[in-house]
Amino acid sequence: MGFGCVWVAGGQVTPLDYGVITTDPHDPQESRLLAIAQDLSAILIQHQPHLVAIEKLFFAQNTTTAMRVAEARGVALLVAAQCNVPIVEFTPAQVKKALTCDGKATKQAMQRMVKDFLGLPVVPKPDDVADALAIAITAANKKW
């Protein structure tokens, strides 16, 4: 699960922290979900965000993968709620449109925009990290 924390001030969006929460694929699913909850909780406690932005779930061809993503997403929503942090959700098309003005932009175009927008030396890897930062940028630029 990718995460991205940004600071917004004076119209500038600055990356604070980003990375990926990983679990051992050989561990039982409940152990993996617990690890995600603990890591995400630590990130929220460390950074004290004013808002958590998350990608809306979309239906995938692979039902097993969709179920695993839904479970992890549910953990993220629960942890944010437990930390009393408001949650906003965006579809992939909304994020693409916000960053590139094209709701059908390619993953590579999105990654380049994240890199350029945040002034990073390279595109964040793995893809989940760039996706998380794209969602954070979208939330940061939304007028609340």
What is the set of domains in the chain, with CATH numbers?
2-141 (3.30.420.10)
Report percent pLDDT > 70 for the chain.
96
The whole-model pTM stands at 0.93
- Residue at 139: amino acid letter: A
Checking if the pLDDT of 143 tops 70, the result is no
Between 115 and 66, residue with greater pLDDT: 115
50-98 pLDDT tens trace: 999 999 977 666 777 888 889 999 999 999 999 999 999 999 999 999 9
Task: Name residues whose C-beta falls within 8 Å of residue 71's C-beta, 6 or more positions apart in sequence.
Answer: 29, 33
